[in-house]
A = this chain, B = another copy of it.
């Protein structure tokens, strides 16, 4: 099937790229307040299509499903205080692929890490 690059599909992808990470609720809210006449069905259908095309990925962070555009391998940092999600590169996390070891007899091909803590901004706000 030959995909068409519709206006609505671009809006869904671009909104997600701008938001960085968004739950379906956040994304819908963002799209509907910035563009008019895009139906829920269209947003959901495009998310599905974009995931099929490996343009968009759904991840669960701190209990919430969020969508993000597909980027280079990265981990996530979740601020438990403000909820902000920050992408962490393997380098920032101090992890290199050579550190991947199999566990017992099970083969490890990949892993995801989610870090939790308090982000710099919240630390500053609390002190002041």
Residues of A within 8 A of B (CB): 58, 60, 63, 65, 77, 79-80, 86, 88, 92-94, 101-120, 123
Contact = CB atoms under 8 A, between A and B. Distances in A.
17 contacts: A77-B106, A77-B108, A80-B109, A94-B101, A105-B120, A105-B123, A106-B117, A106-B119, A107-B117, A107-B118, A107-B123, A108-B115, A109-B117, A110-B117, A111-B115, A111-B116, A112-B116
A49 to B, nearest CB: 17
Given A113-B112, A117-B108, A117-B110, A93 B103 contact: yes
Contacts of A104: 92, 120
A34 B8 CA distance: 48
A63 B22 CA distance: 16
The 4 A-B pairs with the shortest beta carbon distances in the complex, nearest first, are A60-B60, A105-B120, A107-B117, A109-B117
A103 B116 contact: no
A111 B113 contact: yes
A76 B106 CA distance: 12
